[in-house]
Each structure stands twice: as C-alpha cells, then as structure tokens.
C-alpha cells in the first residue's frame, strides 16, 4: 500500500465545465481499512461534485467522530472541513449554514454518530430544514473502538465477535421521513451507479436531503452472520425505481410521459428521472415510503433508491426570512445601529 498520493495529472484527463479534472475533487490518502465501504462513498462524492462542476471551495464538509467522520478528509481537498465532536455535526452545520447560506454543506456521519450519541441533533437538523446533504455511512458497528454493535444493527444480527444485537434497530430513513426530511434515499457503497446520481440529486435539492448509505465494515462486520456484509447486502438488495440525474444544460429527451417513468424538476433546474420497477412506487408519498421500507425489512430485503422527495420544499432561511446576502458578509454599517439610536434606547430606561 502506498502512503503518498501521486501529484501527477495526466494531461488528457477529462475536464468539467470549470476546467477541473476529477483529481481536483480528491482529498488526502485514505487511512481507512483496505476495502472499507466508506472509501467508495468518498469516491462517489468526489465524482458527483466533479460531474456537477461545483467549485470545490464553495463546499463545506462537516462530520462528527468515527470512521465515517474521517471520510471528508479523503475528498475535496480545496474545501474547508470540520471534524466536530461525536454526534454534534448537525448543530455546527446549522450555525455554519446560518452564517453563509451560499455554500453547499455536505455532512458526513455514521451510525453511532447519528443513531446513538447524536440522534437528538439528527432529529432536529432534519426538522429545521437545513439546506444540506446529510450522509450516513451505515455499517451497523463501531469501527474505531473495534466492533461494538450500533443502534442500526437489526435485532439478532451477530457481529464478528459473535455478539448478537438484542434490541430493535433504528432505521434512519424511516426516522428522517418522520422528522420531515424532504429528500430521503438509501443506497449501497458497493453500487456507485445508484449512489452517484442520488448524491447529485440530493445536492441539487433545496432543503434537507438525507442518504443512508450501507457501507460494510470489512474488519468488524463482514462475517456470514451479519446482514451488513458485502455478500448479504448484494444478495438482499432491491430497489423500487432507478434514479437518473439529468443536469440543467442537457436537453431533456421525451422519455417522460411514459407510465413507468417520472421526471422531477429540482430546485436548480436539473432533472431527477425515476424509472419505476415497482408499479406501486410513489416518490411523493411520505407515509407509503415508510411502509415500503418496513415491509421490505419484514421480508428480509433491503429497499434502496429514492424513498421520498418534495421538490417544492423550502429551507430554514426561507422560513426565517434571512437576508439574501450571507450574514457573514454583512458589514458593521449594516449591523451596528450607532450611537444616535442608543440615545432613544437610554431614554426608555429613565
């Protein structure tokens, strides 16, 4: 294994609209275990951002603590990053977003981070409709502390050490739907063809977008008894609709109008094209989405893909009526009322 990332860029590497290659969206060399699902997520995020032609420095990447939360180091070197404290990324992301509504906020979290220590923060950042993409790399175990079961591990699941999960699991997609997320998806780190379009659509979505990404832990939870192993997930995964992302500039072909396909116009003008596999699939029905997830689970299957979207959703700033100019750009003359106003205020206390 190499410890130094080569700086060399092939002169004929494909460039995007900003003249950047995929190398410009990479991060530091990963220190995660070889084969870790999280590294695939990293590369999917980089690919999505490159293909969307996002200026990397206009993205802020935030995380909590854990293996998943290390991941932002491994993508988007030219974006500012913030490894906060365990389970508290949502509040820091909220404050950052309040300060500058113009940046794109990518939150990276794990199952311990979001479903246990930070479950409260997760619930409330969803509720407050923060405009961000929140990703959970979900492997059902605590990696950094060597393999304890997480709250997302299904009851009865056995980790590598043979310890069985005794209690009901928390399904973060169902939780996100209940808390009012306006974009909810589940994907698999081993299926980039599904994950990349979902990340692109989630970034283009305005309001809170959530993707729960099953990301097997090769070291502590890839054993035959686990339902988070690569093999198990491959064998049990299913989807109700295939999502494709059509960027703004691309001419839209007339595939819509077909009964098994739907085009959803996203906030920035791009299109999310859904091709139904399950005839009963409805991306606009929140209650049905929750039911479908639970039904599949009861049948021992893992439902993936876009669960729910509200393309008309508003975000915190619209509800708050925050100024269009980012708050961190406002100057003293706008913020400070000056001494003359103080005269009237003093008078009210006499």
Partner 1 sequence: MTLFQSINEFVVRFANTNGTGSASANNMFAKAIMRMGLPVSAKNIFPSNIQGMPTWFEVRISEKGFLGRRDGAPELVVAMNAQSIEEDIQSVQPGGFLLYDSSRILPQRLMRKEINFLGMPISDICRTEYSDPRQRQLFKNVIYVGALAALLDIDFQVLKDLVSDQFKGKDKLIRPNIYALELGFEFANKQFSCPLPICVERRDLIGDRILVDGNTASGLGAVYGGATVVGWYPITPSTSVIEKFASYCQRLRIDPANGQKNYAIVQAEDELSAIGIAMGGGWNGARAFTATSGPGISLMTEFLGLAYFAEIPLVLMNVQRAGPSTGMPTRTQQSDMLTCAYASHGDSKQILLIPSTPKECFDFSAQAFDLADRLQTPIIVMTDLDMGMNFHLSEPFGWDDKHEYDLGKVLDADDLEKASDFGRYLDVDGDGVCYRTLPGTHPNKGAFFTRGTSHNEYAAYTEKGEDYIKNMERLEHKFATGVKRLPAPEITINSKAKRVGLVYYGSTDEAIPEAVSLLSEQGVKVNTLRIRAFPFNPQVASFIREHDSVFVVEQNRDGQVKKLLCNELTIDPASMCAVLHYDGLAITGQFIAESVQTELSVQTDKAAG
Residues interacting with partner 1, by CB under 8 A?
Answer: 55-58, 60, 62, 72-73, 77-85, 88, 90-100, 102-103, 120-121, 123-124, 128, 316-317, 320-324, 327-328, 330, 332, 334-339, 341-342, 345-346, 348-350
Distance from C-alpha of 38 to C-alpha of 314, rounded to nearest angstrom = 30
Give the nearer residue to partner 1 in terms of CB position, either 238 or 323.
Answer: 323
Residue 295 Cβ vs partner 1, minimum distance, rounded to whole Å = 31
Residue 3 Cβ vs partner 1, minimum distance, rounded to whole Å = 14
Q: Give one DSSP letter per residue of 82-112, joined into a string.
A: EE-STT-HHHHHHHHHHH-TTSEEEEEEEHH
3-state secondary structure of 229: coil
Residue 100 Cβ vs partner 1, minimum distance, rounded to whole Å = 5
Residue 221 Cβ vs partner 1, minimum distance, rounded to whole Å = 24
Distance from C-alpha of 80 to C-alpha of 27, rounded to nearest angstrom = 11
Give the nearer residue to partner 1 in terms of CB position, either 298 or 345.
Answer: 345
Neighbour-count burial of 149, counting CB atoms closer than 10 A to its CB (0-12 exposed, 13-18 middle, 19+ buried) = buried
Give the nearer residue to partner 1 in terms of CB position, either 259 or 332.
Answer: 332
3-state secondary structure of 269: coil
Query: How far, CA to CA in Å, does 347 sit from each of 32, 144, 335, 337, 342?
Result: 63, 60, 22, 16, 8
- Measured from the Cβ of residue 215, the count of other Cβ atoms closer than 10 Å reads 29
Give the nearer residue to partner 1 in terms of CB position, either 168 or 348.
Answer: 348
Residue 41 Cβ vs partner 1, minimum distance, rounded to whole Å = 18
Give the nearer residue to partner 1 in terms of CB position, either 200 or 317.
Answer: 317
Residue 66 Cβ vs partner 1, minimum distance, rounded to whole Å = 12
Give the nearer residue to partner 1 in terms of CB position, either 33 or 265.
Answer: 33
| Long-range Cβ pairs for the range 323-327 (8 Å, 24+) | 326/99, 326/100, 326/101, 326/102, 327/98, 327/99, 327/100, 327/101
Give the nearer residue to partner 1 in terms of CB position, either 102 or 260.
Answer: 102
Q: Phi and psi of 303, rounded to 5°?
A: -85, 130
Helix 192-204 and helix 37-51, axial crossing angle in degrees, nearest 10: 50
Residue 192 Cβ vs partner 1, minimum distance, rounded to whole Å = 25
């Amino acid at each position: 294994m190499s410890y130094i990332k080569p700086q060399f860029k092939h002169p004929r590497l494909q460039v995007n609209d900003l003249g950047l290659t995929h190398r410009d969206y990479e991060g530091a060399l990963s220190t995660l275990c070889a084969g870790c699902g999280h590294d695939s997520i990293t590369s999917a995020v980089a690919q999505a951002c490159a293909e969307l032609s996002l200026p990397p420095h206009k993205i802020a990447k935030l995380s909590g603590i854990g293996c998943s939360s290390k991941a932002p180091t491994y993508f988007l070197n030219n974006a500012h990053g913030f490894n906060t404290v365990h389970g508290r990324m949502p509040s820091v992301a909220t404050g950052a977003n309040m300060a500058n509504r113009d940046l794109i906020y990518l939150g990276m979290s794990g199952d311990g981070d979001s479903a246990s220590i930070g479950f409260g923060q997760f619930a409330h950042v969803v509720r407050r409709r923060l405009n961000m993409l929140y990703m959970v790399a979900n492997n059902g175990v605590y990696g950094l502390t060597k393999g304890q079961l997480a709250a997302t591990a299904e009851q009865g699941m056995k980790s590598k050490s043979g310890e069985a999960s005794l209690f009901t699991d928390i399904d973060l997609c169902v939780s996100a739907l209940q808390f009012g997320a306006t974009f909810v998806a589940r994907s698999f780190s081993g299926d980039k063809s599904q994950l990349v379009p979902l990340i692109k659509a989630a970034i283009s979505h305005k309001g809170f977008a959530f993707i729960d990404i099953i990301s097997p832990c090769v070291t502590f939870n890839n054993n035959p008894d686990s339902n988070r192993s690569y093999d198990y997930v491959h064998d049990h995964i299913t989807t109700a609709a295939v999502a494709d992302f059509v960027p703004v500039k691309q001419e839209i072909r007339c595939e819509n109008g077909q009964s098994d396909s739907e085009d959803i116009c996203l906030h920035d003008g791009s299109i999310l094209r859904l091709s139904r596999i399950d005839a009963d699939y409805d991306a606009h029905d929140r209650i049905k989405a929750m039911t479908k997830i639970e039904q599949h689970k009861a049948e021992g299957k893992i439902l993936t893909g876009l669960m729910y979207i509200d393309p008309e959703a508003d975000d915190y700033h619209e509800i708050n009526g925050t100024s269009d100019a980012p708050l961190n750009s406002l100057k003293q003359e706008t913020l400070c009322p000056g001494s003359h106003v103080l005269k009237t205020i003093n008078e009210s206390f006499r």
